[in-house]
Structure 1
Amino acid sequence: MTTNAATDPMIGRMIDQRYRVRSRIARGGMATVYLATDVRLERRVAIKIMHGHLADDAAFRERFIQEARSAARLSHPNLVGVYDQGAEADTAYIVMEYIPGITLRDLLQEHRALTPEQTTDILRAVLAGLASAHRAGIVHRDLKPENVLLADDGRIKLGDFGLARASTQNTATGAALLGTIAYLSPELVTRGAADSRSDIYAVGIMLYEMLTGEQPYKGEQPMQIAYQHAHDTVPAPSLLVPGVPSELDDLVAWSTARDPDDRPRDAREMLEHINGNQQRATGQYRTAVLRPENATAILPAGAPGPEATDATTVIPPQGGTGQAGTGPTGRATGPTGRGRNAPGPRRTGQAPGALSPASQRLADKATKRSKRGWIALVVVVVLIVVGAGVGWWFGPGPGGNVRIPEVAGKTVSQARQLLEAEGLRAADRTRTRFDAVVAKGEVSATAPAAKREVRKGTPVVILVSNGPRMITLPAIVGQSVTTAQAALDDDFDLQDPQYQFSADVPKDTVIAATGRATDGSAIDLSTVQEYGERGPVTLTVSLGAVPDVAGKSAADAQATLQQVDLTVGKQTEQYDEDVPSGQVISATAEADPVVRGTAIDLVVSKGPAPITLPDVHGKTINQAASTLEALGLKVSYPDCTNVLCGFYDWKSTLPVKGTDPGANATVHKGDTIRLSYDQ
């Protein structure tokens, strides 16, 4: 689709005083790609500019820039190079290598299915570039034919590295999402987790599509396709296109296994497998490296070129009859070309030592050539001097290029000194910006950015940190830990949670949230409404109440506490009338608050305390019973059967003769003591 300046205001715009936008190449859900000219280096580049409504989201904009920096770390012949990134007037952009040509999607739409040889050529190039990224710890996350570029000169490059995550997060429904869903791995569909094996799955889907001309899973809704990714197995391409080699069937099955552990661990392993198969191939589908039609050929040494018959012959200088040269045959010859002993024609009237007319003409030509040689030498010297002057001017001189030094974290005066020492001009006025890392008042960055190569004398604006951007805190205390982390993760730096036991707060609920002030002191975030962007946040999470081990045996109590990462501290024993011997009476923590690893002290019952039975011999029955019952003992005695007992209070009169057990015996509370008396 053609676009002019009337329909797209970016056409003709100069970005960062360096990139002149020429035309629009493509438009996606996240950004628009334009063809531009780098006026400083006079080369064509592709510049990706984030959509304006996304640039207003600071978090998304920061992610866009960070992903560009990740992609810029990669350098491989099969990866689209990233030259630069920056922002201007709330517009974030990435400058990339411009690849004139088509995409793999265009090729598939034109030819539908590819041959095994063509498929393997493209697959090797994609895996080679992807292996370089995987070695750097970068996962593409959005592999699809639209991101495989086929250059006009035969090169194959993988593009849009590192930007797929942001793109998918901002794609809602429709064809854009459907195109991405078609290559999502099962773990991305079910868990949202991506690693190098997720890229391998997408490569396997593309391999199937190149061999068959269609995607393995189809559906009217994205969820239908996602369900098939999670539950179905990709069929063999040979079922749809007979003649596909079995090795490629196996490669599709291996790379699209539903379990990530059953796939190649990264692109390098898959590429090495393909190369191994090619070395063992017997002609079934050996891959040939395609070369451009107009490639320059280098002739081997000794091979005759197209103009070998017109080789230059060096003529030796000629003198008088006594001088000799070397003829084409290698023999010594005189000026006439004959042999040394052959008689030459005699000249009459010629003074001794004078040159013949032919020799004189040769001498005159030699003199002219000598003059021309001196003139050429003077010209060369002048050119060398001029070249050295130009080199000095554009090198160490005032017209050369320098890299902007890194001044983040310096004071403004220190930054000015560093810039001026490199031959740059620090702008008189500084600008401020929010910075979550650099302290307020210190230099945050420069415009143009650090490490950019610019001309000496270029004005550089110093950006001073205004501290972190203050963000309104969501509700934290009393929320579940997963809810709180999801609310805080995009704007703040979540530290590892701290856990403690609490009898009042349910398990996995946030008890407190703590931040850090500029002086390093702790801040209770429940007492403030705003907190600095990317500031550290530590959540204190409840582990629930300490298990109640009262009434358990000491061994059971220890096992119960160990299950929640608590240990048993001191164990003491004491008598208890209500708790049986060997059972825990109480448990007390040695520290407050109680965290994992805290020791719990146990008090274990020894049962009721022993009692020495007193001697109640001679006391009346009522007196003896009162004494024993006061000790917690039970008393029994037989009824009086004497007829006289009915006429007086015999319990207050009759003396105790003995007890069972006897006096001084060891008894326990609750035991029954039997009294005896004479009736």
Structure 2
Amino acid sequence: MSNSSPSPDVTPTRVGGRYVLRGELGRGGMATVHRAVDEVLEREVAVKLLHAHLATDPAFLDRFRREARAAAALAHPNVVAVHDWGETADGAYLVLQLVDGPSLREVLRRHGRLTPEQTLGVLAPAAAGLGSAHRAGLVHRDVKPENLLLGADGQVHVTDFGLARAAASATSTFGADVLVGSPHYLSPEAVRGRPLDPRADVYALGVVLFECLTGRPPHEGESPFATAVAHTSQRVPAPSTLVAGVSPELDELVLAATAHDPDERPEDGAAFARELSLAIPAGIAPLDLDELAGDTLITRRPPPPSGSTRALDGAEPTRVVGARGTTPPDAPPPRPTAVVPADDAEADDAEAYDEGAYDDVGDGRRRGRGWLVALLVLGLLAASAAGGYLVWDRYLAPITPIPQVEGRAHGDAVDELESAGFVVDVDRERPHDLDVPADHVLVQDLTGTARRGASVTLTLSAGPRQVTIPDVAGDTREVAEARLTSAGLSPEVTERHHEEVERGLVIRTEPAAGEVLDETSQVEVRVSLGPTPIAVPDVRGSAEQDAAAALEDAGLRMRVSGREHDAEAAEGTVIGQDPADGELFRGDTVDVVVSLGPAPIEVPNVRNMLVEEAVSVLEEQGFDVEVERRGGFGAFLRPNRVFEQDPGPGAERLPGGTVTIYAYEG
């Protein structure tokens, strides 16, 4: 970079009351970057000014403010320092530090590729800087070699957080009309329009790691869109497939960092830095930046007053490749053979351009013709790019609604998505789901709107999980419920009597053990209440044999526990039972008492009693009395008296029996 004084025809412009612009460093589609002097702190800075035609656009202003806040929130030695920002009548501006040194892009163009040790020296501190942003809730969204600067002091800086968003509000990479980010470094989820988190930056770091080791990016399509889409359909290959000698550890890190599934990547920049250090145990080998500067002629308008510096903004000056060594200040600049923008015409922010035509040396006419040719070429390229983009944006890959196919049958879902112009991928894994039938779409990873041709991944349902009913017969109620619940089923307990299964134990399940059901299906668990209770029949007053038959019919047994005389019950009649009522269980015994009939009565002695007295005594005892009279001498001596009885005194007769008395006539 030239160290001459500013051109006398350039009038300094003051911004924010304290920043005096000294010269333009780079220009992009959104802003222009100027070298400036902070008159308050007396230091050189870079001032980024929003283009005048955008200064009244609320969307661009909002984006510019977000860039300022996001970058200003970071404080890390490996992240660009943001000194100030504001808005004036002339537009919005951002004040950044200047870094003396090339970008990683310049290094790769000079060296082709780096050794693992040199790669560690660049990417480990860059990843650490990104890790600090990730911890602050920010996602860079545009990690690439152009945005990694190597200072002369050996420090590596991450620049251009112009695309960063707070992780909590990160939006999709595809907007309604522009591809945000650099297609070579976009993660699959960014291309698909998904929300982004720090793992999107890790993916880009993995791609940069691949490029440092091999000298080229992993995917190169015919257009920026084709390059971006390649990240969704192709895996980044292992570096060792292109360059011999790359260690397996570095291969594994590249493949892990660029995994299509974000969950398989390191969680953030700090984790990537740790894994990179472990993959390169030999440590850091610094780059020779002086050697690099010898092959790179950097021209700016006007040069800084105090040595070669670089805006830490991602804006990169045009490089004209010449012979090794520095071009003398009094020699005419070589005729440019190509203009290489800093971000390969894919960046979202400040792009550098060649300002060699402003040097006050060389032939004026040749200079004029050179600029005319350059402007013509640039115009044609711009028109071609714009026309190609419009064709791509409006016809080849327009923004279009994505059909909602969740819950649809697999074939129907694929037909509808493909008819709408989307590419369908089907996840190999099929989770079980209670509500979505097998072979129906459980989840689609992309919803809303996206560009036609985007890939939509469908996850199909395997339907409810199938569960075999365990055999819980004989278990207690609590154990059976726990086993069925653990198997994923829903037990429903019912209780019933069972003559053989003990009370509180499981009789069986319905459906039976061994049958297969859908997960959470209801299974009836039949728990025993013990044998069925039997109401004890009342057999009192029944004949003995009839009572035994009645109890047997009820499932009970009869046992004669005693026989007793009963004045009112005939012999053989049941006059008592135990229990007399209530419930018993099948096979239980009922004790009965059987009547022996009335008890016999001892016949009293009525001899020598008058007939009337004897009859009265016997009848009181319950006997029937028959009287037979005799005449003769006795009638004279003992008239009307009993002289004999049958049966005789002391004999036993049942009540109601007949006692015959013999008496004299009187």
TM-score, normalised via structure 1 length:
0.39
Name the structure, 1 or 2, with higher relative contact order (CA <8 Å, separation 6+): 2
TM-score, normalised via structure 2 length:
0.40
